[in-house]
Amino acid sequence: MAYFDAASAAPLHPVARQALLASLDEGWADPARLYREGRRARLLLDAAREAAAECVGCRADELVFTPSGTRAVHSGVAGALAGRRRAGRHLIVSAVEHSSVLHAAETHEADGGSLTQVGVDRTGAVDPTAYAAALREDTALACLQSANHEVGTEQPVAEVAEACRAAGVPLLVDAAQTLGWGRVEGDWSLLTGSAHKWGGPSGVGLLAVRKGVRFAPQGPGDERESGRAPGFENLPAIVAAAASLRAVRAEAAAEAARLRELTERIRARVPALVPDVEVVGDPARRLPGVVTFSCLYVDGETLLHELDRAGFSVSSGSSCTSSTLTPSHVLKAMGVLSEGNVRVSLPPGTVAEDVERFLEVLPGTVAAVREKLGAPAATETVRTAGPDLVVDALGRRCPIPVIELAKVIGDVPVGGTVRVLSDDEAARLDIPAWCEMRGQEYVGEEEAEKGTAYLVRRTV
């Protein structure tokens, strides 16, 4: 079985396993106590903090450990907003942030705060000038991920941090996807991470708050972790997290170069092997082991199940793999195809043979899924009929509305239109994306008695 979902959780690093087992014997006592066992535990905690701070690029007394990366984000956002409440209640985030950041932003907005979401281009990157333009006198905090978790695009953190610093606004960076590869560049103010993203144990996050940043921890007070992460520290997991972070950093340069070659192989060969595929994300500024692509006329959930049966564990941002049946907010913000979306994220140590086997299996797997769904052939015969057609895809989920559109586009002459009736939210993203891939004109949408009518004009 080839595990290709490291962006969700990386396999436990051998160093993490060793450190975890060793600290179970030495680090079980309360590090706040002054007796021998407590002092021993305190030494382990302090050493772990020093190691993690060195990797992050901050002082040890600026870093605390939290029960998860999500908790680090929530605590960081809430504490920074509360600390700068006198400055205002305006928060800035990108449209492609991790859900933990967006949920914190929703909570802030529900509590009466104001929110600005900065959009991204089709590669998933923000424009630093757009962040600078969003800054206001009442801006309390800005948030930007170091790299996107779904498509791997790296963000211009240093440029955004410079704009925020000039405006006197702290920048919180969600560095969960990049801490294992290196320090985050730029003059950031707050930073968060999650150990299971770099091969540490789950249930450990970190929050760094630079000296001089106004910060007011929220919730009941606690003497632990400078009052920023209440509760007894999970010392064995913390020690393992810090040890594994240091270990993966030592291997990062060589492993990044190796994984980039493997993902570049996938990026280049998938469009040649599989018809009607869109590779998404920045082609150059991206995480070493992540490559994401979307396949037309494919049910994402079915494709993932078939790849799992073939021995490959991958993930997807397709609406079909979600209980809400709505497209990934990342793919939606980028304006790219969501149906049949596959994210391959290679863990350190992935061998080239597994990648080659994946490339051998993928074309047949996609073709089989398309055949089950009745997708049109790549060389569909062009026909002509009336100038306008209506496709009723109400009650039919992705990718059926797009499949039905593709089947009938040849039935109208050039200049004719097809109206696709759909009540699937994914159609709002996938039909325009299909038009861009196929060179057809997306006219827009209209209200319908049921669902929405999506208008497409045939141009070729």
Phi-psi region of 226 (alpha: psi -120 to 50; beta: other; left: phi over 0): left
Q: 3-state DSSP: the chain helix, strand, coil percent, rounded to 5?
A: 40, 20, 40
Question: Token pair of 378, please?
Answer: 């790549």
C-alpha dist (Å) from residue 377 to 46, 210, 247: 62, 57, 49
Q: What is the DSSP string of 264-314?
A: HHHHHHHHHHSSSEEEES-SSSB-TTEEEEEETT--HHHHHHHHHHTTEE-
CA gap 296, 426 in Å, rounded:
13
Would you write out the chain's pLDDT as a tens digit for each of its 460 residues? Answer: 899 999 999 999 999 999 999 999 988 999 989 999 999 999 999 999 999 999 999 999 999 999 999 999 999 999 999 999 999 999 999 999 999 999 999 999 999 999 999 999 999 999 999 999 999 999 999 999 999 999 999 999 999 999 999 999 999 999 999 999 999 999 999 999 999 999 999 999 999 999 999 999 998 877 777 778 878 899 999 999 999 999 999 999 999 999 999 999 999 999 999 999 999 999 999 999 999 999 999 988 899 999 999 999 999 876 555 555 578 999 999 999 988 999 999 999 999 999 999 999 999 999 999 999 998 865 444 444 567 899 999 999 889 999 999 999 999 999 999 999 999 989 999 999 999 999 999 999 998 989 999 999 999 9
For the chain, how long is the longest CA-to-CA vector? 88
* Residue count (the chain): 460
User: In the annotation, is 55 catalytic?
Assistant: no
Residue from 143, 320, 398, 435 carrying the catalytic annotation: 320
The Cα–Cα gap between 457 and 388 comes to 9
